[in-house]
Chains A and B, each alone.
Chain A
Amino acid sequence: MITLLDMSSPTPPAVNLVDVWKRFPGVVANAGATLSVTEGTIHAVLGENGAGKSTLMNVLSGMYRPDSGEIQIKGQQFWFRSPADALAAGIGMVHQEFRLIPSFTVAENVVLGASERILRRSSIEAQVGDVANEFGLKIDPTRPVWQLSMGERQRVEILKSLWRNAQILILDEPTAVLTPSEANELGTVLREMANSGRSIIFISHKLHEVKEFCDEATVLRGGETVAASLLVKDTDTVKLAGLMVGSSPSTISRPTPQSQGTPLLTVSGIGALDDRFLPAIQDLNLTVHGGEIVGIAGVSGNGQREIAQVIAGLRPVTSGKIIINGEDLTNALPVERFRAGLGYVPEDRLGVGLAPRLNIIENAILRNYRNLRQGPLLAEERMRTYCEDIINRFGVRSGLLGDPIAGLSGGNLQRLLVGRELSGNPKVLVAAQPTRGLDVKGVKAIQDLLVAERSDGVAILLISEDLDELLTLSDRLLVMHEGMIVGEFDPTTAKRHDIGAAMAGEVAT
């Protein structure tokens, strides 16, 4: 979809991105994406992970150069060579990971790189304080950054853009690091900035925030804009959720339903905290039987990540019980759970599931090296055989087994990881985002493996952001919202609209 610039309009949009394409090796991140932001508004950019939001924002902020497409700022055409060019055109970006120097003060961080003259500390502190006050940003410019909370650090990042006189501010998932009250304060500050004529681009997963803070919303899916500049006040969250998850027809055939086996994974009354020690999961109950795939759907950040970690033993519970294959393993170590028959495919492949600097053999034996010992030594021959077995059985295409795994493609990494977890012949498999970021062939291979395991009687909990995948593979579909299961659906009969409503937290009555 292409939005043509209306030359007769008295005020051209603050930002107008037209037909932006950006390809990376093996991936098309933006396939003709568009975005039009009205001056003085807060504009939400929505989309699931991999929808192309970040790439599009990196194009707008000068980090990437698009393969093709146009960037118009207030009606004027730009071609950014670097973030500095974008900044000069009035575009500032607040990244998810802050780029601050902890030992510098707020004022020093704000002016860093913005001036080549030697500045008097007291005068810059006063000036930075003035800018902060103008927009109601509560912050003491004299304090060193290491003493600040995440919310305050974010204000420093925003101040950096304001100091450089940015008229267009991009915030990449700004509330992900904030407490709910800090998020509300941010909303007030953003409104203040919009009222002063600045334009805000607000990237988020959280629909209620979009509803609360934003004027307009653009939804991306698969690198394309599927809905441009919707008026937020006329659009309900259910519709937004529906647009994000899409409705493309499924490509793989559903596995035939099976008679239910015995319950192999039972989670009851589980509570857990997130990384900021705020409740992430509350009183969560679910059961997975042998030979079934239970899918968990939900907008990102509603506790899916945490529930997978809790079951795997990588995150402590605050309440409740976890029974795996008949054993109470609520507080057991990850190894004990593996021995009891739990396989776990973590969301972070490299860095949790696989050790990046180690070679293929070393990664293949990660779960089972204790059984490959000969006295204190590791039995090299058996290690190699064990690894070759996984590689052959699961079709991992690798170079030399002694090479670091960093050289493998995403699809082969995931085959190695999934293969390793399945090589222990698990009774229960928890797979978190197992196909995210893979190419079509890789996705198919992993999905086929899951279905085959299901036929062998394994109980599979599949956590995914891809609703199509969930609808195709699951025997039952659970929807999570704010740390709770808010709905259960039969994927053969469920309506997408109802699932979308549950994801948005509006329980169908």
Chain B
Amino acid sequence: MGRLVLVRRDQVLQGGQPLAFLIGIFSALLIGILLLAVSGHDALAVYERMFDASIGSSKAWSLTLNRAVPLGLAGLAVAVAGRMGLWNIGAEGQILAGAMMAAWVARIGESWPSPLLITVMLLAAVLGGALLGLGPAVARAQIGVNEIITTLMLNEVALRMLQWLIHGPWKDPESRGFPLAPILPEGARLPGLFQQAHWGAVIALLVIILFGLVASRTAWGYELRVAGSSGATALYAGISLKRKILTVLVLSGGIAGLAGGIELSGSSDRIVEGISGGYGFAGIIVAALALMRPSGVAAVALLFGAVQVGGLSIQTMGVSSSVSTILQALILFGAIGAGVFSRYSVKRVSKENQEVQ
């Protein structure tokens, strides 16, 4: 008898990454056929709908892009902290904080020229997210409080705050009792790009590219890598760990806040309870699957967005939302999980040869 183990390849398999990606998706779809057959659906028709709805037309692409934007920014927010070994689980709340700040600017700046209003809204959104990240950042840097707990708990704080606003001071008098904020003024809406897509996609892409460059090319990014690799080495090199933790967690919050501002100004037309849409938590998955790399974040977010749009579209065919969610998970897992095999190979180890160490 033996057991299977993953052994790191000496060299990454040439062309392995795209091949693994295709094989992964293909196997996921194969397993999906079983799933759909069991739940009584025509798998091919379902797949065709998924494909059409997510990447089959320019309209489909625009919907996918609109989802990829908050996913990508939330993923980047988590990755920024993750590169230093910190976990920002609070992107969900930071998105809400960003959206609230942007909405507040839209209320007071209704009469401003649109480009100015949108710019200030997005800056306010960054500030909102950053402020929510500040508390955990200070607590972690100064006295070592675990940021996972604090950022997670602040999600709830931001959500309650938003609920209070839409049930109280910001409640739209014309909403017939529903807890909704008023619809944004026209000047506060991000201009369109094509079909449903808006300029948020361009902003998100620029932010991701900018961070990618900063992380890989600047002295600051280098210090971040050193600190992420070993805290003791960072101290030895004269890098202040406290300051790095502080900036990284605040920056992470700011990026998530920007996602909230863009979501409000681009996709949603008002503050509603579900405006964060779970993007903050999905961002953790995006960042993890992207191995904390900015370029990976963009690609994973796009795939994630497409799978979400496709998954939603098949629910109109009568596929239940749970089956659709399982299918989405399968595809994501297959597409990205299979990448492991370009870096590792599977070997069988017999019991006798196991070296205990």
Indicate if the CB atoms of A373 and B229 lie closer than 8 Å: no
Interface SS of B by simple majority: helix
| A335 and B233 contacting across the interface, CB-CB below 8 Å | no
When each residue 293-334 of chain B gets 1 if its CB lies under 8 Å from chain A and 0 otherwise, what string results?
000000000000000000000000000000000000000000
Q: Are B232 and A348 in contact (CB under 8 A)?
A: yes
A257 within 8 A of B: no
Cα(A346)–Cα(B232), bound, Å: 11
Interface 1/0s, chain B 220-254, versus A by CB < 8 A? 10100110111011111110000000000000000
With both beta carbons as reference points, the residue of chain B lying nearest to A383 in the complex is identified as: B222
Q: Are B236 and A312 in contact (CB under 8 A)?
A: yes
Q: Known interface pairs A355-B229, A357-B229, A369-B222. Does A378 touch B217 (Cβ–Cβ under 8 Å)?
A: yes
Pairwise interchain contact A352-B225, C-beta atoms closer than 8 A: no
| A469-498 with Cβ < 8 A to chain B | none
- Does B37 sit at the interface, judged by CB under 8 A? no
Question: Provided the pairs A334-B236, A377-B218 are in contact, do residues A355 and B356 lie with their beta carbons within 8 angstroms?
Answer: no
- If the complex has contacts A333-B238, A358-B226, are A376 and B218 also in contact, measured as CB distance less than 8 A? yes
Residue of A nearest to B225 (CB): A358
B219 at the interface (CB under 8 A from A): yes
- Is B357's CB within 8 Å of the partner chain A? yes
Q: Are B217 and A366 in contact (CB under 8 A)?
A: no
Residues of B within 8 A of A334 (CB): 235-238
Q: Which A332-350 residues sit within 8 Å CB-CB of chain B?
A: 333-336, 338, 344, 346, 348
Tell me, in angstroms, the Cα distance from A335 to B236 when the chains sit together: 8
Chief secondary structure at chain A's binding surface: loop
A376 and B219 form a contact (CB under 8 A):
yes
Whether the Cβ atoms of B226 and A351 lie closer than 8 Å is: no
Q: Which of B225, B228, B235, B356 contacts A64 (CB 8 A)?
A: B356
On whether the beta carbons of B219 and A352 are closer than 8 Å, the reply is: no
A354, closest chain B residue (CB): B233
Pairwise interchain contact A351-B233, C-beta atoms closer than 8 A: yes
Q: Which interface residue of A83, A344, A348, A378 has the most chain B CB atoms within 10 A?
A: A378
Is there an interface contact between A352 and B222, defined as CB atoms closer than 8 Å? no
Shortest A308–chain B CB gap in Å is 12
- Asked if A131 is at the interface of the complex by the 8 Å CB criterion, the answer is no
* Chain A residues, Cβ within 8 Å of B356: 62-65, 82-83
Q: Is the CB of B233 within 8 A of A352?
A: yes
- Give Cα A245–Cα B345 distance, bound, in whole angstroms: 46
Decide if B236 touches A352 in the complex (CB within 8 Å). Answer: yes
Quick one: given A370-B219, A377-B218, are A362 and B233 in contact (CB under 8 Å)?
Answer: no
CB < 8 Å: which of A63, A352, A380 contacts B230? A352
Report the Cα distance A370→B230, complex, angstroms: 19
Contact A366 B233 (CB under 8 A): yes
B235 — which chain A residues lie within 8 A by C-beta?
314, 334
B232 touches A366 (CB 8 A): no
CB <8 Å contact, A366 and B219:
no
Distance A334 CA – B228 CA, assembled complex (angstroms): 19
Cβ proximity bits A44-62 to B, threshold 8 Å, 1 near / 0 not: 0000000000000000001
A362 touches B232 (CB 8 A): no
In this assembly, does A353 line the interface, its C-beta being within 8 Å of a C-beta of chain B?
Answer: yes
Which of these, B217, B218, B226, B234, contacts A362 with CB under 8 Å? B226
Asked if A356 CB lies within 8 Å of chain B CBs, one says yes
Query: Is the Cβ of A355 less than 8 Å from the Cβ of B226?
Result: yes
Residues of B within 8 A of A62 (CB): 356
Contact of B238 among A338, A376, A378 (CB under 8 A): A338
Whether the pair B219, A373 counts as a contact (CB closer than 8 A) is yes
Q: Complex: how many Å from CA A369 to CA B233? A: 14
- Provide the B194-218 mask, 1 if CB < 8 A to any CB of A, else 0: 0000000000000000000000011
Asked if A305 is at the interface (CB within 8 A of a chain B CB), the reply is: no
Write the nearest CB–CB distance from B225 to chain A, whole angstroms. 6
* A378 contacts B222, C-beta separation under 8 Å: yes
In the assembled complex, which residues on chain A have CB atoms less than 8 Å from the CB atom of B230?
351-352, 355-357
A366 to B230, CA, bound (A): 12
Q: How far, in whole Å, are A245 and B218 apart by their CA atoms in the complex?
A: 48
Q: In the complex, what residues of A have CB within 8 A of residue B238's CB?
A: 333-336, 338
Flag if A351 contacts B225 (CB, 8 Å): no
Chain B residues within 8 Å of A83, by CB? 356
A367 at the B interface (CB under 8 A): yes
A314/B217 in contact, CB under 8 A:
no
Residues of chain B contacted by A362 (CB below 8 angstroms):
222, 225-226
Footprint of B on A, CB under 8 Å? 62-65, 82-83, 312, 314, 333-336, 338, 344, 346, 348, 351-358, 362, 365-367, 369-370, 373, 376-378, 380
**Given A336-B238, A352-B233, A357-B230, 6 more pairs with CB closer than 8 A:** A354-B233, A357-B228, A369-B222, A369-B237, A378-B219, A378-B222
B interface residues with partner A (beta carbon < 8 Å): 217-220, 222, 225-226, 228-230, 232-238, 356-357
25 CB contacts below 8 A, A to B, read A62-B356, A63-B356, A314-B235, A314-B236, A334-B238, A335-B237, A336-B238, A346-B236, A352-B233, A354-B233, A355-B229, A356-B230, A357-B229, A358-B229, A362-B222, A362-B225, A362-B226, A366-B233, A366-B237, A367-B237, A369-B222, A369-B237, A376-B218, A376-B220, A377-B219
